[in-house]
Amino acid sequence: MSKMWSFCGTLAFAAAVAVTAQAQDMRAPEGPIEFTVGAGAGGSPDVIMRTIAQIMNEEGIVENPIVIQNRSGAGHSNAYNHVLGLPGDENTLLTMASPVFTTPIVQGTPSVVDQVTPIAGFIQSELMLLTTPDSPWGSLTDMVTAATAEPGRVRVAGGASGGNDHIATGLIETAAGITLTYIPHESGGAARATFLGGNVELHFATLAEGMEQIAAGTAKPLAILSEVRRSEEALANVPTAKEQGVDVVYTQFWGVAGPAGLDPAVAAWWADKFRKATETQTWQDGLKANMQLGQFYALDEAGAYFKAEQETFRTVLTKIGLAK
Amino acid sequence: MRKLEMVPALFMIAASLAVILGTAGLAVWDGFTPGARFFPLFVGGVGLLLAALLLWQQWRGADTGLVDRPGRDALVRVGLTVVALVALSAGAPVIGLVPMLAVFALFLLLVVLRQRLLPSVVTAAVIAGGTHVVFVRLLSVPLPAPFGL
Amino acid sequence: MFDLLFQGFAIALQPENLLFIFLGVVIGQVVGALPGLGPAAGMALLLPLTFGLEPVTAIMMLAGIMYGGQYGGTLTSVLINVPGEASGVMTALDGHAMARQGRAGAALAIAAIGSFLAGISAVAAVALIAPPLADFGLNFNAPEYFLLAALGIIATGSLGGSPVRSLIAGVMGLMIALIGVDPLTGAPRLSFDMPVLFEGIDFIPVAIGVFGIAEVLSSMERIASVQPIKTRLKDMWLTKADWVTCRLSIVRGGIIGLFVGIMPGAGASVASLLAYLSERKFSKAPEKFGHGAIDGVAAAEAANNSAAHGGLIPMLSLGIPGSASSAVLLAALILHGIRPGPMLMTQEAPLVWGLIASMFIGNIILLVLNLPLAPLFAAILRVPYVYLAPGILAVSLVGAYAATLDMGEVWKCILFGVLGWLMMKFDIPRAPLVLALVLASLMETSLRQSLLLSFGSPMIFVERPISAVLLVAVLIALFLPLIGALRRRRRA
């Protein structure tokens, strides 16, 4: 596992260099654009795509009017099947979120990543592991000790089965050699209610959510699942899982891809526009406010990045018995 | 007549068996908790029980349910309406939802319900036009419209 | 506290804000009245329109769509028997029966008054005691949800003439809910390798089909003789007797709705079902329930509106959305650069209090709009039914499509329309099916979550105080009718 993660790191560096050097034929699509989102209105991918579409249109980066279509349900398969059914279409982009990768693995259908035209990966969100404020544990090590003594007695409240929280739980179990009890919920909000009600020991949160809870005194951080600590004052003393001997680095990520057979010139045009949008002050401010990362991968780099992530998902889902 | 009365119970039995057999292979118990098949078995079991109860009640004459058997003309009208609904859904992606709605309304009013021409045309226009204004213009929902309408 | 509320009113009463509150509630009313498009879908569709606005204005307008949608949903439930969302099923039951008796106006009026009173009270609760209520709501979790859902499903047996027939309909609803991916293990279940079935079957196409389309198919049988429903003007309005019957129903429905609303996992459909059932216990004429009981409409509407407003309590004080529509509202906050969470009420006080004040104002606007318009809306039923029928079918199918942009949903509507028609012909009540479908996943998921929480020990249902009380209620609901039946048998 760790080998693969360092591979991702190298890739990130390579991508950052490659994007600036790239010059390619570009052609703009004509007419209105649809960003297809597999989540309902209000989900993270929906918020991200609406934000970037708004920036693109308002700051004149993209002239074509952009609409967000929520084709929600069925683990994003309504959305990706819609885009897969439009080969060569220049007016529809698919939002790449983790269910686009995990749903085919769980349902045993052909991988989506191998069929679409990757355009960009442009935003990542780190996760932190929280415990209840009155918990005796002061660190991830304490939790691992407790879970080793009594396997399966430590409970995690998380989102849907096979979702990001479940995958992070699986990675921690493997890296620390422990067994946790994962309790899936219909939504992240429902899981948080279970955690805040004091029913379980552990819960995953994005940094921004976690910060709010720590500030309100309703949660205590155990670890951040990143390569390095955050620099913000409030989080600077939260150690990474790696520092505490649990070799897990896991971040959520989002990107976009076009249908199969999309003209490379149009794909390159989109990659350029996404890069320009992410360089705006509005976008950077948003990243800062939500404590998200903005590493940018374009075209082939994005494709390689997506494929590497897909392998992580497959490994973990196989381990927790969900892969078909 | 008695045979027709038994349809709900027989349907329930068939559905219960489908649920019980269709979930074969899933775990009934999974570690601490009921597994994916637990609830289906429970629901299927209750379904069989209720079906048996209903048959028993009917046999004793204690059931209050009444089967309403529509006449032939009525059945034809219901059947044609269902056919029209199916045609509407099948035609919408090919021809466009709004024009199909107009055709659908005209078919129902003129052929199934035998109404006069003028009010039927007005109704069809109101339905198709209203749908276009509310859904496409106001709510900007992309209704199927391969020819732009 | 009151300073803050005054500040809130000062913000909400600014002309621009007032205009957008008005627009929000009107749009909500319209969208809510389209079958299939509930408040959540309506808010999502109109979210992009708010991007140019100040955050507080945008949130006020979106919230207006949310509770305006609750008022609008009543229209379709009462007039054409299509509940636009799960919380409208109970309203449709008696409201549509009233409409058939020519009393649609009265049903709409009491629904508007009940929604208004309960909505205003719930907003007052949000203003005064949101944080302690939110903490109380956290005491409800998987074990309590399981027992609540079980209570609801058992109670569906009493919705209709014959308990066995009602329960059969309930079991059909449970079976429909089983289709799709198992929520806990992610294993495909009863999907028979058909991709359409992987995602399971949503409430909307079932409700539209089983209620709306089935209703039209059934009237197609004798369409030539279907007269427009006689609506005399004097029947359009509430009588004094109506008001006396409904006063306390609204109070009780509102309280139940508020409590269910603050539970982050239950939602307005559970609220209206529980309110309806408890109202039948209180009613002097319980036999009228299901056949046009105005107190049933009042309680159900009061409960679902107060649950919709109460759902803002966990959202504002904990950052946990209690329903689909509050999830969209949370997303709107994020899109406008505001981080929801436990600190929201202190850090963004002007916004939160402006929103609270706007909900007082919006509910008043809705009442003023709906009361005079109730007879007008009811007058739609004076259109000859032959011309209404194609319109109802069209708007039902288009609504189902618009909510998901998936033709599959339209096909499901037709399928369930035929099923609903067959149920009518074979005298199987339809409401239990739809309610059981809504409650099934709550029941199954929370049973399994409970046992995961307790590592397999069923004692979790007894050890938690609220859960223990609910368990007693479930046992009573389960065994009282059986004991009653046995006693009657012995006497006979």
CB contact under 8 A, A42 and C48: no
The CA distance from A97 to the nearest CA of chain C, in Å, is 17
Cα–Cα nearest to A92, from A260, A306, A277? A260
Which has the minimum average pLDDT: A3-7, C279-283, C374-378? Answer: A3-7
Facing C390 at nearest CB: one of B65, B104, B143: B104
Q: Pick the residue of C191, C312, C339 with the most A CBs within 10 A to test the interface with A by mutation.
A: C339
Count CB pairs under 8 A between chains B and C: 187
Helical (H) or strand (E) element with A194: helix A188-196
Q: Residue B62: closest CA among chain C residues belongs to which residue?
A: C162
A67 touches chain B (CB under 8 A): yes
Output the pLDDT for position C231: 61
Where helices occur in A87-183 by DSSP H, the ranges are 98-107, 140-149, 164-176
Count CB pairs under 8 A between chains A and C: 145
- pLDDT tens for each residue of C144-183: 999 999 988 888 888 877 889 999 999 999 999 999 888 7
Task: Take residue C293 and report the two structure tokens written for it.
Answer: 């009981």
Tell me, yes or no, whether B49 and B79 share the same domain: no
A41 touches chain B (CB under 8 A): no
CB contact under 8 A, A197 and C202: no
User: What's the mean per-residue pLDDT of chain C?
Assistant: 87
- Say if CB C114 and CB C367 are below 8 A apart: no
A161 touches chain B (CB under 8 A): no
Say how many residues make up chain C: 492
Chain A positions in Cβ-Cβ contact with residue B142 (cut-off 8 Å):
34, 67, 69
Tell me, yes or no, whether B104 and B128 share the same domain: yes
CB contact under 8 A, C391 and B82: no
Q: Pick the residue of C47, C51, C164, C418 with the most B CBs within 10 A to test the interface with B by mutation.
A: C164
- pLDDT, mean of residues C370-382: 82
Q: Name A226's Cβ contacts closer than 8 Å, sequence gap at least 6.
A: A126, A240, A249, A251
CB contact under 8 A, C184 and A161: yes
Question: In terms of residue numbers, what domain contains A49?
Answer: 2-124+251-319
Q: Pick the residue of A33, A48, A80, A212 with the most C CBs within 10 A to test the interface with C by mutation.
A: A212
Could you give the number of structural domains in chain A? 2
CATH of the domain at A107: 3.40.190.150
- pLDDT, mean of residues A274-299: 92
Chain B positions in Cβ-Cβ contact with residue A91 (cut-off 8 Å):
none
The CA distance from C93 to the nearest CA of chain A, in Å, is 29
Output the pLDDT for position A5: 42
| Bridge partners for A129 per DSSP | A204, A223
Chain B residues at the A interface, defined by Cβ less than 8 Å, are 32, 140, 142
Task: Take residue B33 and report the two structure tokens written for it.
Answer: 């908790």
Q: Which residue has the higher pLDDT, B96 or A1?
A: B96
Interface partners of B (3+ CB pairs, < 8 Å)? A, C
User: What's the mean per-residue pLDDT of chain A?
Assistant: 88
The CA distance from B30 to the nearest CA of chain A, in Å, is 12
CB contact under 8 A, B140 and A67: yes
Tell me, yes or no, whether B54 and B78 share the same domain: no
Using the structure block, give the residue that is written with the tokens 């399966």.
A152
Tell me, yes or no, whether A79 and A92 share the same domain: yes
CB contact under 8 A, C184 and B23: no
* Cα C78 from Cα C95, distance rounded (Å): 5
Chain A positions in Cβ-Cβ contact with residue B143 (cut-off 8 Å):
none
Max mean pLDDT range (A32-46, A142-156, B128-142, C155-169): A142-156
Residue A13 in domain: yes
* Cα C401 from Cα C208, distance rounded (Å): 11
Using the structure block, give the residue that is written with the tokens 């309408």.
B149
A181 touches chain B (CB under 8 A): yes
Question: In terms of residue numbers, what domain contains B19?
Answer: 2-60
C402 touches chain A (CB under 8 A): no
Tell me, yes or no, whether A255 and A307 share the same domain: yes
Tell me, yes or no, whether A116 and A260 share the same domain: yes
Checking if the pLDDT of A62 tops 80, the result is yes
CB contact under 8 A, A69 and B142: yes
- pLDDT, mean of residues B100-118: 93
Tell me, yes or no, whether B85 and B123 share the same domain: yes
Checking if the pLDDT of A12 tops 60, the result is no
Tell me, yes or no, whether A50 and A156 share the same domain: no
Which C residues, 35 through 64, put their C-beta within 8 Å of a C-beta on chain A? 40, 43-44, 47-48, 51
Output the pLDDT for position C491: 67
- pLDDT, mean of residues A56-64: 90
Residue B145 in domain: no
Cα–Cα nearest to C297, from C77, C471, C127? C77
Tell me, yes or no, whether B56 and B8 share the same domain: yes
Checking if the pLDDT of A135 tops 50, the result is yes
The CA distance from A226 to the nearest CA of chain B, in Å, is 32
Q: Residue A209: closest CA among chain C residues belongs to which residue?
A: C341
Single-letter residue type at C66: M
Chain A positions in Cβ-Cβ contact with residue B32 (cut-off 8 Å):
181
Tell me, yes or no, whether B132 and B77 share the same domain: yes
* Cα A111 from Cα A278, distance rounded (Å): 28
C213 touches chain A (CB under 8 A): no
CATH of the domain at A212: 3.40.190.10
Q: Pick the residue of C47, C335, C464 with the most A CBs within 10 A to test the interface with A by mutation.
A: C335
Which C residues, 115 through 154, put their C-beta within 8 Å of a C-beta on chain A? 138-142
pLDDT band per the 50, 70, 90 thresholds, residue B122: very high
- Say if CB C73 and CB C65 are below 8 A apart: no
CA A247 to chain CA centroid, Å, is 19
Q: Residue A67: closest CA among chain B residues belongs to which residue?
A: B140
Max mean pLDDT range (A309-323, B89-103, C158-172, C398-412): B89-103
- pLDDT, mean of residues C204-224: 87
Facing C394 at nearest CB: one of B51, B93, B101: B101
Tell me, yes or no, whether B42 and B77 share the same domain: no
Share above pLDDT 70 across residues of chain A, in percent, rounded to a whole number: 92
Tell me, yes or no, whether B123 and B78 share the same domain: yes
Output the pLDDT for position B31: 81
CB contact under 8 A, C441 and A186: yes
Tell me, yes or no, whether B129 and B89 share the same domain: yes
CB contact under 8 A, A189 and C320: yes
- Say if CB A83 and CB A149 are below 8 A apart: no
Cα radius of gyration (chain A):
20
Tell me, yes or no, whether A139 and A279 share the same domain: no
CB contact under 8 A, C181 and A75: yes
Tell me, yes or no, whether A152 and A139 share the same domain: yes
Chain C positions in Cβ-Cβ contact with residue B65 (cut-off 8 Å):
161-162, 165, 426-428
Residue A233 in domain: no
- pLDDT tens for each residue of B20-40: 999 988 889 888 888 889 999
The CA distance from C248 to the nearest CA of chain B, in Å, is 34
Could you give the number of structural domains in chain B? 2
Residue B143 in domain: no
Share above pLDDT 90 across residues of chain C, in percent, rounded to a whole number: 39
Say how many residues make up chain A: 324
Facing B81 at nearest CB: one of C34, C168, C220: C220
The CA distance from A69 to the nearest CA of chain B, in Å, is 9
CB contact under 8 A, A196 and C337: no
The CA distance from B37 to the nearest CA of chain A, in Å, is 16
* Cα B24 from Cα C17, distance rounded (Å): 58
Residue B146 in domain: no
CB contact under 8 A, C318 and A47: no
Chain B positions in Cβ-Cβ contact with residue A67 (cut-off 8 Å):
140, 142
- pLDDT tens for each residue of C44-59: 878 877 877 888 999 9
Chain B positions in Cβ-Cβ contact with residue A34 (cut-off 8 Å):
142
Checking if the pLDDT of A287 tops 60, the result is yes
Facing C448 at nearest CB: one of B16, B34, B67: B34
CA distances from C183 to C190, C191, C424 (A): 13, 13, 32
Output the pLDDT for position C318: 83
- Say if CB C61 and CB C24 are below 8 A apart: yes
- pLDDT tens for each residue of C122-135: 999 988 888 888 88
Q: Name A319's Cβ contacts closer than 8 Å, sequence gap at least 6.
A: A170, A173, A174
- Say if CB B78 and CB C220 are below 8 A apart: yes
Output the pLDDT for position A13: 47
The ipTM (two decimal places) reads: 0.94
CA distances from C93 to A51, C87, C272, C389 (A): 42, 11, 12, 20
Tell me, yes or no, whether B77 and B51 share the same domain: no
Tell me, yes or no, whether A91 and A139 share the same domain: no
The CA distance from A143 to the nearest CA of chain C, in Å, is 18
Cα–Cα nearest to A221, from A211, A231, A233, A208? A211
Checking if the pLDDT of A229 tops 80, the result is yes
Share above pLDDT 90 across residues of chain A, in percent, rounded to a whole number: 63
- pLDDT, mean of residues A7-26: 52
Tell me, yes or no, whether A151 and A109 share the same domain: no
Q: Name A190's Cβ contacts closer than 8 Å, sequence gap at least 6.
A: C264, C265, C320
Residue B86 in domain: yes
Where helices occur in B6-116 by DSSP H, the ranges are 7-22, 38-60, 72-95, 97-106
Q: Pick the residue of C185, C192, C216, C387 with the most B CBs within 10 A to test the interface with B by mutation.
A: C387
CB contact under 8 A, A181 and B142: no
